[in-house]
Amino acid sequence: MANLLRTIGWEVTVFERARGDLAGRGAGLGIHEELFAVMRRIGIRADDSIGVEVRSRIALDRSGDIICEVPVRGIASAWDRIYRALKDALPAECCRSGMQLERFEQDARNVTAVFADGSRAVGDLLVGADGIRSTVRRLLMPEVEPRYAGYVHWRGVVEEGDAPAALHALIFHHMAFCFAEGEVAFSVPTAPEDDTRQCGRRCQFVWCRPVDYEITLPQMCTDASGRRHGVSIPPPLIRPELISDLREHAEARLAPQIAALVAQAAQPILQAIFDLESPRIAFGKVVLLGDAAFVARPHVGMGVTKAALDAQGLTDALAASGGDLAAALARYDRERRRFGSLVVERGRHLGAYVDAQRSPPGGLQTILREWGAAGVIDGEPISAALA
């Protein structure tokens, strides 16, 4: 958002509560041409070299045999690659880390952000791009909460040197899926940390498993000392017995190629899946953007691309408004809410394949085309479907 606003002459400051760099935060990332287009607009060289090619999608049965293949090509990148490119494009003086927003005030002239250290910042517009647990959204609409989807994702990254050589041809060039009862797992290649490295390919597994919210999820998010972390837990604190169980279950339930990745991943990540819809995303001089506004289940692979498209939508609305902020924000609210709702609905639709074991018309072929890193509806990019 900050990069795009600067392209239309705005002065921008990013206030981030975390200290230090966020490059180590994520894992593999499915991306879309729309994200590349936004990055190019900022002046970043964004082409296929920012990721690795996925040649096709394959379904494996429990014994590891290929039972279906669809020739859907894609690019898989990595959180660190996209984050680094966007962060480097922003002058360091625009970024203030260790600044936790606590509240804001607005009147007819401006909006003031108030931070945990007591400091204040005054501006024309406050963009609440503060994620799924957004403070800005909670202040505006405390009743709007993320809704648990009924399942979690386990994820893990395996470095090339740790992946069995016999699997390289499959896991570094294809997305490989395995559908177990009420669950789906897949592997996807992940871009190396930077493109100067000659080797360093990585592969990520994602395993979607039903978990009840009231008892099991809080138990899973309890560390070895008995401390409860709510509905998420920092990966290093996940109890070792949970990881051992995961590996045993993978061996018993998944295709051996994917079970091998579960066995090798050094530090699996546990992510409870939620979706979220905001009934409104513009409030005077304050807007919500990205996950703060809408969260779709990850099956559409749209989180980062949607945040970028929201940012582009806001920038375009501001640029076209001739200084009429209210008109720009009304347009932003209308257009991006429509898009957000559609993507959330799409994520629920794909999620239903898992939790209801519902097979779509077209069966496996359809799931392989639509699942994972593809914001598509009936073969068309979601953005085209909305045009």
| Residues at the contact surface with ligand FAD, assessed by CB under 6 A | 15-18, 22, 26-30, 99-101, 129-131, 135, 155, 269, 271, 290-292, 298, 301-305, 307
Range 324-330 contact pairs with CB under 8 angstroms and sequence separation of 24 or more: 325/124, 325/125, 325/285, 329/282, 329/285, 329/287, 330/282
- We find the least distance from the C-beta atom of residue 29 to ligand FAD, in angstroms, to be 4
**Cβ–Cβ < 8 Å for 31, 82:** yes
Least CB distance to ligand FAD at residue 51 (A) = 11
Smallest gap from residue 301 Cβ to ligand FAD (A):
5
Report residue 356 as tokens: 């209801």
CB 184 within 8 A of CB 177: yes
Q: Which is nearer to ligand FAD, 113 or 170 (CB)?
A: 113
Considering the complex, state which of residue 53 and residue 251 has its C-beta at the smaller distance from ligand FAD: 53
Take residue 25 and report the two structure tokens written for it: 């935060």
Least CB distance to ligand FAD at residue 61 (A) = 25
The radius of gyration of the chain's CA atoms, rounded to the nearest angstrom, is 21
> Beta strands of 10-100 (E only): which ranges?
14-16, 28-30, 52-54, 56-60, 66-70, 74-78, 95-97
Place of tokens 């203030």: 96
CB of 115 vs ligand FAD, minimal distance in Å: 8
Q: Give the SS3 label for residue 312.
A: helix
- 120 vs 324 by CB, closer to ligand FAD: 120
Give whichever of 152 and 250 is closer to ligand FAD, judged by the CB atom. Answer: 152
Q: Which is nearer to ligand FAD, 298 or 351 (CB)?
A: 298
Residue corresponding to tokens 């347009």 = 331
d(CA 102, CA 124): 18
Q: Could you tell me the smallest distance in angstroms from the CB atom of residue 15 to ligand FAD?
A: 5
Q: Which residue, 243 or 304, is less far from ligand FAD as judged by CB?
A: 304
